Amino acid sequence: MSLSSRFSPGTFVLVLAVYLFYTGSVSEYDLVTGSVVALVVSLIVGHWIIEDDRKAFSPRRWFYAVLYGLRYFLIEETKTHIDVAKKVFTLRANPGIVRVPLEVESDYGKVLVANSITNTPGTIVVDISDDGKWLYVHWIDVSTLDEREVKENIVAYFEDYARKIFD
């Protein structure tokens, strides 16, 4: 495989953005250093990280990613923090592990869903089935065992955005 076929512009931009974000600077030095690091990383592993650069630069996917981030961090997180605080102070919880169906196809989509569930107060993904079709989630208040209702309560919102962004 030649170097030109291994280079991934999507990986280059992603690594450079992460580098600049974590350095907190856009000075000449950081731009040059970040570009060198991004170039090396995109040449070595870029073709594994992003398989299709057209997907990585799709404005529609970026729109949904930004929309997801805003809604998740500003609305969903706030609602669940309040809900968990109520459960803690009233000592009303019914914890348990539930099996949740997962319909996202891409590995990145599955990771987004699993991480979003884990980052949400009151839920944590404890396992994923070998075939990737089921998540096992510890839920602070198991209100139902019906798979459709569990999916609607825990996963539906995350999965919808994961499909729009990654599939």
DSSP letters for 56-116: HT-HHHHHHHHHHHHHIIIIIHHHHHHHHHHHHHHT--B-EEEEEE----SHHHHHHHHHH
Quote the DSSP letter at residue 155.
T
Average the pLDDT over 53-61 and give the result.
83
* Higher-confidence position of 35 and 50: 35
The confidence band for 8, taking pLDDT boundaries of 50, 70 and 90, is confident
pLDDT value of residue 146: 86
pLDDT value of residue 1: 52
Q: Measure the CA–CA gap between 40 and 141, rounded to whole angstroms.
A: 47
pLDDT value of residue 2: 54
Q: For the whole model, what pTM was predicted?
A: 0.77
pLDDT single digits (tens) 121-163 = 999 999 999 998 999 999 998 888 888 888 888 888 889 899 9
Q: What percent of the chain has pLDDT over 90?
A: 44
Stretch among 21-30, 49-58, 60-69, 75-84 having the lowest mean pLDDT? 49-58
> What is the DSSP track for 8-65?
-HHHHHHHHHHHHHHHT---HHHHHHHHHHHHHHHHHHHHHH-S-HHHHT-HHHHHHH
Cβ distance 56 to 50 under 8 Å?
Answer: yes
Average the pLDDT over 51-76 and give the result.
87
Average the pLDDT over 86-112 and give the result.
90
Cβ distance 10 to 50 under 8 Å?
Answer: yes
- Cβ-in-10-Å burial (0-12, 13-18, 19+) of 28 comes to exposed
Average the pLDDT over 100-112 and give the result.
90
Average the pLDDT over 26-49 and give the result.
89
The confidence band for 54, taking pLDDT boundaries of 50, 70 and 90, is confident
Average the pLDDT over 105-131 and give the result.
91
pLDDT for residue 70 is more than 80:
yes
